[in-house]
């Protein structure tokens, strides 16, 4: 067993032994490094895994806490259990979505089983196998790498054979044509670019994630806005990355376009998280936002206002989507004749201080 796995098991055992109770802060990385006599990197990897598996959660600027796993566990005989599989649990916009789902389901007497794939197909398979062993009432799932062919489709077909309804959020596997709750990501990408164009920008870069369908559609909207406003796109200014490539692209291709003589005056980002990460690269290039660069994020997450630069961004429904997903899956469970739970949210531009007119 690797060192980080040993640290994981020791922390999990401490939780099971109730040495850490729900919502209690665990020791800092420095303290755990000394306690387990391992490197800080080893401790960090163990904690990150436990966060993604739902054992711990983090609060920015505060620390790491023991999660309340009562919402992710139930007795094997539970007859009112809904499973929720997300790509992540404790990071970014996902806690808000999860809270929306849990708050509505608990008000209706349902237990929520919570799983995370970490946006990995193998972990999605493991989650689905676990779900199939449970006596489930229904399933809500956020697809893993939704722009790639999925090797786990048979599990969803098995759910259909068993008569267990499922609903997808944020994206959907097109082969299954499932009920889904999504944002109009193409329109969101269009609004990002249109805002900068209306502010007078004509040299606009875009940085989009392409293993998830959301990023592909946002990039499509970005391109459409340029075409409709008859502004050519410099192909070198359109950067793409996959889940595992983000840091490499930020430190490489993105840093390179900032160093160009004809650098962009505006940038559209896949989401607020990558926009905030890009701020470090922008500062290292000796540039400031919005004086030298106007930037636009996506999701209107807590990160949009977490730094001194308050992001202009596109609003994601987050908590509202969670509540609506819970209502929709119960409509399917109860087999209501008028059930048609699919819905597409219209994105809204939120203007803050990260953009300005040229």
Helix/strand/coil (H/E/C) assignment for every residue in 134-165: CCCCEEEECCCCCCCCCCCHHHHHHHHHCCCC
The whole-number pLDDT of residue 14 equals: 86
DSSP 129: H
The whole-number pLDDT of residue 73 equals: 47
- Does 185-316 match 3-64 at the fold level? no
CA 207 – CA 242 distance, rounded (Å):
11
User: Of the segments 24-38, 57-71, 284-298, which one has the largest average pLDDT value?
Assistant: 284-298
CATH, range 3-64: 1.10.10.10
Peptide bond into 177 cis (omega under 30): no
At CA 291, angle to CA 285 and CA 293, rounded to 5? 55
pLDDT of 74 > 50? The answer is: no
The whole-number pLDDT of residue 16 equals: 78
pLDDT of 61 > 80? The answer is: no
| Span 42-46, average pLDDT | 88
Q: Judge whether 353 and 188 are in contact, CB under 8 Å.
A: no
DSSP 303: G
Q: Percentage of residues in the chain with pLDDT exceeding 70?
A: 95
**Binning pLDDT at 50, 70 and 90, where does residue 236 land?**
very high
The whole-number pLDDT of residue 337 equals: 57
- Residue 119 exposed, middle or buried by CB count within 10 Å (0-12, 13-18, 19+): buried
The whole-number pLDDT of residue 339 equals: 64
Residue 61 CB: number of other CB atoms within 10 A?
6
Q: Structure pTM?
A: 0.78
Domain ranges of the chain: 3-64, 70-183+318-345, 185-316
* Six token digits for residue 16: 């099971």
**Binning pLDDT at 50, 70 and 90, where does residue 69 land?**
low
List, for residues 129-185, the tens digit of each pLDDT value. 988 888 899 999 999 999 999 999 999 999 999 999 999 999 999 999 999 999 999
| Helix ranges (DSSP H) in the chain | 3-16, 29-36, 40-52, 94-107, 121-132, 153-161, 185-198, 213-228, 246-249, 255-259, 272-284, 319-333
- Residue 230 exposed, middle or buried by CB count within 10 Å (0-12, 13-18, 19+): exposed
List, for residues 82-105, the tens digit of each pLDDT value. 999 999 887 789 999 999 999 999
Q: What is the mean pLDDT of the chain?
A: 91
Per the document, the length of the chain is 358
Which one has a higher pLDDT value, 80 or 344? 344
**Binning pLDDT at 50, 70 and 90, where does residue 17 land?**
confident
SS3 65: strand
| Span 35-51, average pLDDT | 87
The secondary structure element, H or E, covering residue 63 is strand 63-66
Q: Judge whether 214 and 187 are in contact, CB under 8 Å.
A: no
Q: Percentage of residues in the chain with pLDDT exceeding 90?
A: 71
- Which CATH fold would you assign to the domain 185-316? Rossmann fold (3.40.50)
Taking the CA of residue 291 as centre, how many other CA atoms within 13 Å lie in the half-sphere pointing to its CB?
A: 4
List for the chain the helix, strand, coil content (%; round to 5).
45, 15, 40
At CA 185, angle to CA 308 and CA 292, rounded to 5? 35
CA 86 – CA 170 distance, rounded (Å):
10
Least confident of 33-42, 173-182, 233-242, 253-262: 33-42
The CATH class, in words, for 70-183+318-345 is alpha beta
CA 266 – CA 293 distance, rounded (Å):
5
């Amino acid at each position: 067993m690797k060192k980080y796995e040993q640290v994981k098991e020791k922390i999990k055992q401490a939780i099971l032994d109730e040495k850490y109770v729900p919502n209690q802060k665990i020791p800092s990385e420095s303290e755990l490094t000394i306690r387990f006599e391992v490197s800080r990197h080893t401790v960090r990897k163990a904690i990150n895994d436990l966060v993604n598996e739902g054992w711990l959660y983090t609060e920015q600027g505060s620390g790491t806490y023991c999660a309340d796993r009562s919402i992710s566990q139930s007795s094997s005989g539970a007859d009112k259990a809904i499973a929720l599989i997300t790509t992540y649990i404790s990071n970014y916009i996902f806690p808000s979505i999860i809270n929306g789902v849990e708050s509505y389901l608990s008000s209706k007497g349902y237990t929520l089983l919570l799983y995370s794939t970490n946006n990995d197909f193998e972990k999605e398979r493991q989650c689905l196998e676990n779900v199939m062993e449970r006596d489930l009432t229904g399933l809500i799932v956020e697809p893993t790498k939704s722009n790639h062919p999925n090797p786990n489709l048979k599990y969803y077909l098995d759910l259909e054979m068993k008569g267990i309804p499922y609903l997808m959020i944020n994206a959907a596997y097109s082969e299954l044509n499932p009920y889904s709750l999504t944002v109009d990501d193409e329109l969101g990408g269009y609004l990002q670019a249109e805002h900068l164009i209306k502010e007078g920008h004509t040299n606009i870069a875009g940085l989009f994630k392409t293993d998830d369908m959301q990023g592909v559609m946002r990039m499509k909207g970005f391109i459409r806005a340029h075409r409709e406003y008859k502004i050519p796109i410099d192909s070198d200014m359109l950067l793409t990355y996959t889940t595992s490539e983000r840091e490499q692209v930020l430190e490489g291709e993105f840093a390179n376009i900032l160093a160009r003589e004809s650098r962009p005056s505006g940038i559209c980002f896949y989401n607020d998280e990558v926009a905030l990460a890009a701020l470090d690269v922008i500062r290292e290039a000796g540039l400031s936002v919005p004086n030298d660069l106007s930037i636009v994020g996506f999701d209107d997450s807590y990160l949009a206002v977490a730094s001194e630069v308050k992001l202009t961004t596109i609003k994601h429904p987050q908590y509202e989507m969670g509540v609506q997903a819970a209502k929709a899956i119960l409509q399917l469970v109860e087999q209501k004749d008028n059930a048609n739970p699919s819905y597409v949210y219209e994105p809204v531009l939120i203007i803050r201080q990260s953009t300005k007119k040229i």
